[in-house]
Amino acid sequence: MVLAVVSETQLTIWIDADACPAAIRGIVFKAAKRLALKTVLVANQSLHVPQHDLFSMVTVPYGADIADNTIVQKMQQGDVVITGDIPLAARVVEGDGVAIGPRGQVFDDSTVHGRLATRNLMEQFRAAGVQTSGPRPQNSKDIQTFANTLDRTLTKLMK
């Protein structure tokens, strides 16, 4: 995995916020505040953002991939994007960003393409009428894994 080294003032955390669990957003806010990192939520609805100069919200119109497109257009090389959306994660990796899923998985060049292929295959199964199960509910272990992964990733990027 290639992680670009950036200074504190360059790194921005982007949150694909429409489907991001509140617990994950809270962990990101806490880490961003501790490390003085700009954090931007992007969603098609207004969400609670703590009052702080580092935090902002971009509300986009409702529609397919509008939030994703906004993140990809605005992110810079080395930025961190929090998303469970595999196609968005692939676009972030292609743009030399770092994508982290809400269960703590880091998407990089060696993992995101396989995950994207699996997602596309499952989508084909569903389109053909095959019943598939969705993701299991997030649990406390997932949340702790996310917090640890975020901390390790941000520490690496800021060195």
Q: What is the per-residue pLDDT for 2?
A: 47
Classify residue 25 as exposed, middle or buried by CB count within 10 Å of its CB (0-12, 13-18, 19+). Answer: buried
In a domain, 4, yes or no: no
**Within 10 A of 48 (CB to CB), how many other CB atoms are there?**
8
Q: Which amino acid is at 10?
A: Q
pTM for this structure? 0.83
In a domain, 62, yes or no: yes
CA distance 79 to 13: 6
Instruction: List C-alpha distances in Å: 47 to 21, 44, 60.
Output: 11, 9, 12
In a domain, 7, yes or no: no
CATH number at residue 92: 3.40.50
For 69, the domain range is 12-133
In a domain, 25, yes or no: yes
In a domain, 152, yes or no: no
pLDDT in tens, the chain (159 residues): 445 444 444 899 999 999 899 999 999 999 999 999 999 999 999 999 999 999 999 999 998 899 999 999 999 999 999 999 999 999 999 999 999 999 999 998 877 766 666 656 667 666 777 776 667 788 999 999 999 999 999 999 988
- Name the domain count of the chain: 1
In a domain, 54, yes or no: yes
Instruction: List C-alpha distances in Å: 103 to 21, 46, 121, 147.
Output: 10, 23, 21, 9
Structure tokens at 68: 């994703």
Q: What is the per-residue pLDDT for 110?
A: 79
Q: What is the per-residue pLDDT for 125?
A: 61
Instruction: List C-alpha distances in Å: 82 to 15, 19, 93, 100, 125.
Output: 5, 10, 12, 5, 27
Q: What is the per-residue pLDDT for 118?
A: 64
In a domain, 70, yes or no: yes
Edge-to-edge order in the sheet of strand 98-100? 55-59, 38-43, 12-16, 80-82, 98-100, 106-107
In a domain, 143, yes or no: no
Q: What is the per-residue pLDDT for 5?
A: 46
